[in-house]
Protein backbone atom coordinates (compact mmCIF):
# COMPACT_ATOMS: atom_id res chain seq x y z
CA UNK A 1 0.00 0.00 0.00
CA UNK A 2 1.28 3.45 -0.91
CA UNK A 3 2.20 5.72 1.97
CA UNK A 4 -0.43 8.31 2.85
CA UNK A 5 0.22 12.02 3.23
CA UNK A 6 -0.66 11.67 6.92
CA UNK A 7 1.95 8.95 7.46
CA UNK A 8 4.56 11.09 5.64
CA UNK A 9 3.71 14.07 7.83
CA UNK A 10 3.95 11.89 10.93
CA UNK A 11 7.35 10.54 9.83
CA UNK A 12 8.84 13.90 8.78
CA UNK A 13 10.96 15.43 11.53
CA UNK A 14 14.07 17.55 12.04
CA UNK A 15 17.15 15.43 11.33
CA UNK A 16 20.47 16.68 12.68
CA UNK A 17 22.77 13.74 11.98
CA UNK A 18 23.55 12.41 8.51
CA UNK A 19 25.67 9.75 6.87
CA UNK A 20 28.29 10.87 4.36
CA UNK A 21 26.44 9.13 1.52
CA UNK A 22 25.71 11.66 -1.25
CA UNK A 23 22.12 12.28 -2.32
CA UNK A 24 21.67 10.97 -5.88
CA UNK A 25 20.79 13.47 -8.60
CA UNK A 26 17.66 11.48 -9.44
CA UNK A 27 16.29 11.97 -5.91
CA UNK A 28 17.18 15.67 -5.89
CA UNK A 29 15.46 16.13 -9.26
CA UNK A 30 12.33 14.42 -7.93
CA UNK A 31 12.31 16.45 -4.70
CA UNK A 32 12.81 19.71 -6.61
CA UNK A 33 10.01 18.80 -9.03
CA UNK A 34 7.66 18.25 -6.09
CA UNK A 35 8.59 21.71 -4.78
CA UNK A 36 8.13 23.26 -8.21
CA UNK A 37 4.54 21.99 -8.12
CA UNK A 38 3.81 23.75 -4.80
CA UNK A 39 0.98 26.26 -4.87
CA UNK A 40 1.67 29.96 -4.47
CA UNK A 41 -0.48 33.07 -4.22
CA UNK A 42 -1.82 33.90 -7.69
CA UNK A 43 0.61 31.22 -8.98
CA UNK A 44 3.48 33.75 -9.00
CA UNK A 45 6.01 31.15 -7.79
CA UNK A 46 8.45 33.69 -6.26
CA UNK A 47 11.10 31.11 -5.43
CA UNK A 48 14.53 29.91 -6.42
CA UNK A 49 16.12 26.73 -5.09
CA UNK A 50 19.92 26.76 -4.82
CA UNK A 51 21.30 23.23 -4.41
CA UNK A 52 24.67 23.16 -2.65
CA UNK A 53 26.54 19.83 -2.75
CA UNK A 54 30.13 20.57 -3.71
CA UNK A 55 32.17 19.65 -0.60
CA UNK A 56 34.31 22.80 -0.52
CA UNK A 57 31.23 24.99 -0.85
CA UNK A 58 29.44 23.00 1.86
CA UNK A 59 32.45 23.62 4.12
CA UNK A 60 32.20 27.35 3.46
CA UNK A 61 28.46 27.18 4.23
CA UNK A 62 29.40 25.61 7.58
CA UNK A 63 32.11 28.18 8.27
CA UNK A 64 30.39 31.35 7.06
CA UNK A 65 26.64 30.83 6.99
CA UNK A 66 25.57 28.31 9.64
CA UNK A 67 28.29 27.28 12.05
CA UNK A 68 26.75 24.42 14.00
CA UNK A 69 28.47 21.15 14.86
CA UNK A 70 25.69 18.95 13.46
CA UNK A 71 25.74 20.83 10.14
CA UNK A 72 29.19 19.35 9.46
CA UNK A 73 27.53 15.98 8.70
CA UNK A 74 25.27 17.37 5.96
CA UNK A 75 26.10 16.18 2.41
CA UNK A 76 23.90 18.74 0.64
CA UNK A 77 21.72 21.73 1.37
CA UNK A 78 18.90 23.35 -0.56
CA UNK A 79 18.76 27.10 -0.01
CA UNK A 80 15.18 28.23 -0.54
CA UNK A 81 15.08 31.82 -1.75
CA UNK A 82 12.21 34.23 -2.22
CA UNK A 83 11.78 37.26 -4.40
CA UNK A 84 9.50 39.84 -2.78
CA UNK A 85 9.35 41.73 -6.07
CA UNK A 86 7.85 38.68 -7.79
CA UNK A 87 5.45 37.65 -5.02
CA UNK A 88 1.79 38.59 -4.87
CA UNK A 89 0.83 41.49 -2.60
CA UNK A 90 -2.79 41.65 -1.46
CA UNK A 91 -4.46 44.82 -2.78
CA UNK A 92 -6.49 45.60 0.34
CA UNK A 93 -3.50 45.95 2.67
CA UNK A 94 -0.32 45.27 0.67
CA UNK A 95 0.36 41.96 2.51
CA UNK A 96 3.34 40.27 0.86
CA UNK A 97 2.74 36.53 0.44
CA UNK A 98 6.38 35.63 -0.34
CA UNK A 99 7.05 34.14 3.11
CA UNK A 100 3.89 32.03 2.89
CA UNK A 101 4.75 30.78 -0.61
CA UNK A 102 8.30 29.89 0.44
CA UNK A 103 7.02 28.00 3.49
CA UNK A 104 4.67 25.94 1.32
CA UNK A 105 7.43 25.10 -1.17
CA UNK A 106 9.86 24.24 1.64
CA UNK A 107 7.43 21.83 3.24
CA UNK A 108 6.88 20.21 -0.17
CA UNK A 109 10.68 19.70 -0.28
CA UNK A 110 10.67 18.25 3.24
CA UNK A 111 7.81 15.84 2.58
CA UNK A 112 9.33 14.69 -0.73
CA UNK A 113 12.68 14.12 1.01
CA UNK A 114 10.92 12.04 3.67
CA UNK A 115 9.14 10.02 1.00
CA UNK A 116 12.55 9.29 -0.58
CA UNK A 117 14.05 8.05 2.70
CA UNK A 118 16.02 11.23 3.33
CA UNK A 119 16.07 13.49 6.34
CA UNK A 120 16.15 17.26 6.46
CA UNK A 121 15.84 20.11 8.93
CA UNK A 122 14.33 23.56 8.41
CA UNK A 123 16.93 26.19 9.34
CA UNK A 124 15.89 29.84 9.39
CA UNK A 125 18.43 31.16 11.91
CA UNK A 126 21.44 31.65 9.64
CA UNK A 127 23.51 34.53 8.25
CA UNK A 128 21.42 35.46 5.21
CA UNK A 129 23.84 38.12 3.99
CA UNK A 130 26.82 35.74 4.11
CA UNK A 131 24.71 33.13 2.32
CA UNK A 132 23.76 35.57 -0.44
CA UNK A 133 27.41 36.61 -0.90
CA UNK A 134 28.75 33.06 -0.87
CA UNK A 135 26.19 31.72 -3.37
CA UNK A 136 26.11 34.86 -5.54
CA UNK A 137 22.39 35.33 -4.95
CA UNK A 138 21.07 38.53 -6.57
CA UNK A 139 20.25 41.43 -4.23
CA UNK A 140 16.53 41.27 -5.03
CA UNK A 141 16.38 37.63 -3.90
CA UNK A 142 16.34 36.70 -0.20
CA UNK A 143 17.77 33.42 1.11
CA UNK A 144 14.98 32.41 3.49
CA UNK A 145 15.47 28.77 4.49
CA UNK A 146 18.40 26.38 4.59
CA UNK A 147 17.20 22.82 4.11
CA UNK A 148 20.11 20.51 4.92
CA UNK A 149 19.36 17.10 3.46
CA UNK A 150 20.79 13.61 3.42
CA UNK A 151 20.47 10.08 4.72
CA UNK A 152 19.81 10.10 8.48
CA UNK A 153 22.18 8.15 10.71
CA UNK A 154 19.14 6.75 12.53
CA UNK A 155 15.69 5.83 11.32
CA UNK A 156 14.06 6.50 14.66
CA UNK A 157 11.23 9.01 14.41
CA UNK A 158 10.91 10.97 17.63
CA UNK A 159 7.47 11.25 19.16
CA UNK A 160 5.85 14.48 18.05
CA UNK A 161 4.43 16.75 20.70
CA UNK A 162 1.35 18.22 19.04
CA UNK A 163 -1.70 19.97 20.38
CA UNK A 164 -4.88 17.93 20.23
CA UNK A 165 -7.22 18.34 17.28
CA UNK A 166 -9.73 19.98 19.67
CA UNK A 167 -7.13 22.63 20.58
CA UNK A 168 -6.50 23.69 16.99
CA UNK A 169 -9.85 23.31 15.21
CA UNK A 170 -12.91 25.48 15.61
CA UNK A 171 -16.16 24.25 14.06
CA UNK A 172 -18.90 26.75 13.28
Average pLDDT for 140-150: 98
- Checking if the pLDDT of 134 tops 80, the result is yes
Question: What pLDDT was estimated at residue 159?
Answer: 84
Residue ranges and CATH numbers for the domains of the chain are 12-141 (3.40.109.10)
Per-residue pLDDT tens for 63-114?
999 999 999 999 999 999 999 999 999 999 999 999 999 999 999 999 999 9
Band the pLDDT of 155: cuts 50, 70, 90: confident
CB contact set of 142 (below 8 Å; sequence gap of 6+): 81, 82, 83, 84, 98, 128, 132
Mean pLDDT of the chain: 96
- Nearest CA-CA partner of 100 in 47, 30, 148, 25: 47
Q: Residue 29 and residue 154: Cα distance in Å, rounded?
A: 24
Q: Residue 112 and residue 78: Cα distance in Å, rounded?
A: 13
- Checking if the pLDDT of 1 tops 80, the result is no
Q: Residue 12 and residue 14: Cα distance in Å, rounded?
A: 7
Question: What pLDDT was estimated at residue 3?
Answer: 85
Band the pLDDT of 157: cuts 50, 70, 90: confident
13: alpha, beta or left, given left = phi > 0 and alpha = psi -120 to 50?
A: beta
Query: Beta strands 119-120 and 76-82: pairing type?
Result: unpaired
pTM of the model: 0.94
Band the pLDDT of 35: cuts 50, 70, 90: very high
Question: What pLDDT was estimated at residue 143?
Answer: 98
Q: Give the rounded percent of residues in the chain with a pLDDT score beyond 70.
A: 99
Are the C-beta atoms of 8 and 111 separated by less than 8 Å?
Answer: yes
Amino acid sequence: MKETLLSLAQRRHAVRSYTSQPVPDSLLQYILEVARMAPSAVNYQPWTFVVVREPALMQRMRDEVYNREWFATVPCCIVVCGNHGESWHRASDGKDHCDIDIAIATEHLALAATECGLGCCWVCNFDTQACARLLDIPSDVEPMVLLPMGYPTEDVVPEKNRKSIEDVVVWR
